[in-house]
Chains A and B, each alone.
Chain A
Amino acid sequence: AQSVTQPDIHITVSEGASLELRCNYSYGATPYLFWYVQSPGQGLQLLLKYFSGDTLVQGIKGFEAEFKRSQSSFNLRKPSVHWSDAAEYFCAVGAWEGNKLVFGAGTILRVKS
């Protein structure tokens, strides 16, 4: 079974600063991977996804993520954070067999002005 770790529970960055949220997964083969964002009391919005091919994927709202097989990582990045990016971010890993998603614990992003 797959698992995913988001080592940072909270991250605070200044508005305009760059951002990197970490995600490490465990799976016996190449998984497919997602990043979602959740605002308080809301559902999840898909930011970006990786299935195969180019390991650097672009998403919405200026986010990108890079799949690194050697490090079992799929870190989320944004070059310049906006106050509206404050939310909770979830990394999810899916297995090609069974098609279930397993979510990380989430990282709460705070943006200070």
Chain B
Amino acid sequence: GAVVSQHPSWVICKSGTSVKIECRSLDFQATTMFWYRQFPKQSLMLMATSNEGSKATYEQGVEKDKFLINHASLTLSTLTVTSAHPEDSSFYICSARASGGLEQYFGPGTRLTVT
């Protein structure tokens, strides 16, 4: 149980285009989802927290107009990187948490490369 999927697992896009990453909880309802970014050989940095039906809460320094997060249902959250640039290339990982729970269940990650 508690499986989280991400799609796509890797994506290459051109500079200036937008890319959408999906995060799904497959066997539980996720009232809260988290988006992290991980640079090579570094730890995970929380980008934003989203609660179903509400606007996402972004961490300091994260541009909310660049990283659009939508949590429209209890099983799906999306991260859209708008007008992507090479410096946005990174490994993006989502996690999901059920109502009343403390554990976060992590997706397998999405490798984004912007050329």
Minimum CB distance partner of A36 in chain B: B106
Known contacts A36-B106, A100-B49; is A44 also within 8 Å of B93 by CB?
yes
- Among A3-50, those with CB < 8 Å from B are 32, 34, 36, 41-46, 49
Check if A87 is an interface residue, CB within 8 A of chain B.
Answer: no
- A3 CA to B25 CA, complexed, in Å: 28
Please encode chain B, from 50 to 65, with 1 for each CB lying within 8 Å of some chain A CB and 0 for all others: 0000000000000000
A32 to B46, CA, bound (A): 17
State the main secondary structure of chain B at its contact with A. strand
Given A90-B43, A101-B46, A103-B44, the answer on whether A51 and B106 have CB atoms closer than 8 Å is no
What 0/1 pattern do residues 58 to 89 of A give for CB contact below 8 A with B? 00000000000000000000000000000000
Q: Considering only CB atoms and an 8 Å cut-off, how many residues of chain A contact the other chain? A: 21
User: How distant is the Cα of A32 from the Cα of B104 in the complex, in angstroms?
Assistant: 12
Q: Mark B101-115, 1 if CB is under 8 A from A, else 0.
A: 011111111010000
Contact pick for B108, options A42, A99, A100, A106, CB 8 Å: A42
Q: Are B97 and A99 in contact (CB-based, < 8 A)?
A: yes
A43 partner residues in chain B, CB cutoff 8 A: 4, 6, 93, 106-109
**CB interface residues, A 84-113, toward B, < 8 Å:** 90, 94, 99-106
With A51-B102, A100-B49: A90-B44 Cβ-Cβ less than 8 Å: yes
- Chain B residues, Cβ within 8 Å of A45: 106
Q: Which 7 A-B pairs have the closest CB atoms?
A: A43-B108, A44-B106, A43-B106, A103-B43, A103-B44, A43-B109, A105-B43
